[in-house]
Amino acid sequence: MDRERETDKGVRMHHRIYYSPGIFGFGRLASYDYFEHVELALESRFRAAGASVTSTVVGALPTASVRRRAGHLASVISTTCGDDGGPIHLLGHSTGGLDGRLVASPSARLPVEAAALDWMPRLRSVTTMNTPHSGTPLAKFFATVSGQRILYALSALTFTGLSIGAPPLALAGTLVGLIGRAERASRLELRALDGAVASLIRVLGDAANVEVRDFLQAIKDDQGAVLQLTPESMDLFQAGVEDRAGVRYQSSVSMSPAPSLRKLIGQVPHPWTAASMAIFMTLHGITGRADPRYPCAAVRPAWRSGEPEPWAGEEVEARLAASLGEAVPVQANDGVVPLRSQLWGTVVWAGLADHLDVLGHFRDDGVAPASGPPHRDWLTSGSSFDRRHFDALMDAIAEGMLSPAVTGPPAARAGGA
């Protein structure tokens, strides 16, 4: 479902922010808003800077191809951006960041009429949060027959974990048992997983039942993005997608602490947290698999004698080590996307956080926020990400969006920095 929220009613809208979720995400589903923490945080910062803003969350097509998702994003912007001439900003989490980059690319051929891109001269910034610019090994896992069924179940758990707080342990337990050995899962086990998801949907209530069923059916019907997010496919994406002159590209990146059996054992008295951590541990391990041919990281560009050295990789590595307090291992990831795959444009924030922490879905020890929805953790990683870190992340993103317009050609992207 596409949703638009206006702030400062009665004031002429100047800035417009469009939010694109990833393959685990959604716009607004059964009264729960996936981006609400980020929306509220950025809107308050725009207002503090004396700017008015319209927020639009772009839903639907959760696992469709990046090209289809980008075409849908372009169409939504075309029909909602108005004619006030104000700046437009794109913010994508996970796969949603690729939607923004593809929409903005001068080389893209999207499945929309040319008029659907008439707003492009107003595009001011593209922000990517934990986006797999160079792919993720997890996509290869989900691309298998059993992996597709697990993705379906994991998507259902993600929604219920964020909206309700603690889904039934039956589904979580079944998923824990399968996710680590998907290739060897029997038909009986997969049917049991499907049955657990169906039971979960039934307890959500009639209204939520219909919306969640439609969302999950969309995942079953089209999983083009899952195939495209493999490191091999993203190698081609990087070769063909260009940055647009005059647009600010910025990214936020994170990694979670390496999970351990010791941490998991410590959660035994808390069954739901233990199940969530067990799922995260397995996803983290799969995401950390590094292939030297497709390393999920920017490749050092060719350099010819007599030309200035274009490689910014050493500077980026130094910044990451300073931000994270350690030299970053090649396996570093947020549980879904390798750390170095997340780099693109100017890195405005780097820190310890898992894939969903950065959206405000982190453990808040039951402390009710001053305003807005409660913070509910899902995929427990033990990152210790909290409000202080979230505020710093939002400050950095807002500052980039509100910076003066970029002039001249796109900046060099060597090393993704």
The answer, yes or no, to whether residue 414 has pLDDT greater than 50, is no
Task: Give the pLDDT of residue 310.
Answer: 46
Find the length of the chain: 417
Cβ neighbours for 240, distance < 8 A, ≥ 6 positions apart:
107
The predicted model scores a pTM of 0.86
Among candidates 98, 108, 105, 70, which has minimal Cα distance to 243? 105
Lowest-pLDDT range, 332-336, 364-368, 383-387? Answer: 364-368
Task: Give the pLDDT of residue 10.
Answer: 43
Lowest-pLDDT range, 165-179, 269-283, 299-313, 394-408? Answer: 299-313
Task: Give the pLDDT of residue 159.
Answer: 74
Percent of the chain with pLDDT over 90: 43
Distance of CA 374 to the CA centre of its chain: 20
Largest Cα separation within the chain, whole Å, is 68
Task: Give the pLDDT of residue 8.
Answer: 46
Residue scoring higher pLDDT (23 or 312): 23
Cβ neighbours for 182, distance < 8 A, ≥ 6 positions apart:
141, 144, 146, 147, 150
Task: Give the pLDDT of residue 392.
Answer: 97
For 276, the 3-state DSSP assignment is: helix
* Average pLDDT estimate for 345-352: 94
Instruction: Provide the domain limits for residue 159.
Output: 144-222
**Do 18 and 89 fall within a single domain?**
yes
**Per-residue confidence at 396, pLDDT binned at 50, 70, 90?**
very high
d(CA 408, CA 185): 54
**Do 243 and 346 fall within a single domain?**
yes
Cβ neighbours for 354, distance < 8 A, ≥ 6 positions apart:
254, 256, 280, 334, 335, 379, 381, 383, 385
Orientation of helix 206-221 relative to helix 145-163, angle to 10°: 150
**Do 177 and 88 fall within a single domain?**
no
The answer, yes or no, to whether residue 78 has pLDDT greater than 70, is yes
List the CATH number of the domain containing 18: 3.40.50
d(CA 251, CA 245): 17
**Do 50 and 111 fall within a single domain?**
yes
Task: Give the pLDDT of residue 164.
Answer: 63
Cβ neighbours for 212, distance < 8 A, ≥ 6 positions apart:
29, 30, 156, 159, 201, 204
The answer, yes or no, to whether residue 298 has pLDDT greater than 80, is no
**Do 305 and 227 fall within a single domain?**
yes
The answer, yes or no, to whether residue 319 has pLDDT greater than 70, is yes
**Do 282 and 217 fall within a single domain?**
no
Task: Give the pLDDT of residue 192.
Answer: 74
C-beta separation of 366 from 16 below 8 A:
no
C-beta separation of 150 from 282 below 8 A:
no
Domain end: 222, 254, 283, which one?
222
Q: Are strands 248-255 and 3-6 parallel, antiparallel or unpaired?
A: unpaired
Among candidates 25, 55, 31, 57, which has minimal Cα distance to 215? 25
Task: Give the pLDDT of residue 366.
Answer: 54
Lowest-pLDDT range, 23-27, 253-257, 289-293, 322-326? Answer: 23-27
Domain end: 179, 200, 222, which one?
222
* Average pLDDT estimate for 96-120: 95
Task: Give the pLDDT of residue 416.
Answer: 43
Mean residue pLDDT of the chain comes to: 82
* Average pLDDT estimate for 98-125: 95
CA distances from 2 to 35, 57, 214, 224, 367 (A): 12, 6, 14, 21, 30
**Do 252 and 202 fall within a single domain?**
no
Task: Give the pLDDT of residue 203.
Answer: 66
For residue range 243-263, what is the model confidence (pLDDT) as tens digits?
Answer: 999 999 999 999 998 876 666
DSSP output for 51-105: --EEEEE--S-TTS-HHHHHHHHHHHHHHHS-SS---EEEEEETHHHHHHHHHH-
Task: Give the pLDDT of residue 339.
Answer: 95
Percent of the chain with pLDDT over 70: 76
**Do 374 and 275 fall within a single domain?**
yes
* Average pLDDT estimate for 381-389: 88
**Do 199 and 302 fall within a single domain?**
no
**Do 124 and 164 fall within a single domain?**
no
Copy the structure tokens of residue 23: 């393959």
**Do 180 and 238 fall within a single domain?**
no
**Do 181 and 34 fall within a single domain?**
no
Task: Give the pLDDT of residue 265.
Answer: 55
Domain end: 222, 251, 283, which one?
222
For residue range 132-176, what is the model confidence (pLDDT) as tens digits?
Answer: 999 999 998 888 877 888 888 888 777 776 766 655 666 676 777
d(CA 171, CA 193): 7
- Domains in the chain, number: 2
For residue 279, the tally of other CB atoms under 10 A from its CB is 23
Task: Give the pLDDT of residue 177.
Answer: 67
Burial 68-99 (b: 16+ CB within 10 A, else e): bbbbbbbbbbbeebeeeebbbbbbbbbbbbbb
Among candidates 413, 348, 352, which has minimal Cα distance to 388? 352
**Per-residue confidence at 105, pLDDT binned at 50, 70, 90?**
very high
* Average pLDDT estimate for 64-86: 94
Task: Give the pLDDT of residue 362.
Answer: 84
